[in-house]
Amino acid sequence: MRDLDLKKYEIHDVAGTHFLINVSQPGDVFEKPLEINEFGSFVLKYIKDGKSARETAKILSEEYEAEYEEVLKDVNDFLNVLNEKIV
């Protein structure tokens, strides 16, 4: 998996729906905002703040009292899917 370049993306919450938006798009052809769920929004906020996938999973597993390994798998699965969608 290549490293995600999330610097040009922002997370926007609109009426309870979360979107990942490319805010550096020039011209009149725009990348469609990507709708993400609440879990994805939390993951991306931590990743954008410089946390690793492992650190993010640790924080989320403690906050939601969930099994660390399961949360880590979910974080990695989310990042892999996101990596495929934002080329």
Contacts for 34 with CB less than 8 Å, ≥ 6 apart: 19, 20, 21, 82, 85, 86
Q: What is the pLDDT of residue 57?
A: 98
Per-residue pLDDT of the chain (87 residues; tens, 9 = 90+): 446 678 889 999 999 899 999 888 877 777 889 999 999 999 999 999 999 999 999 999 999 999 999 999 999 999 999 988 875
Domain 9-85 has CATH 3.30.420.130: no
The whole-angstrom separation of Cα 67 and Cα 48 is 23
Cβ atoms of 70 and 52 within 8 Å: the answer is no
Q: How does pLDDT run across 42-56, given as a tens digit for each residue? A: 999 999 999 999 999
Q: What is the pLDDT of residue 36?
A: 95
Say what the pTM is.
0.84
Contacts for 8 with CB less than 8 Å, ≥ 6 apart: 22, 23, 24
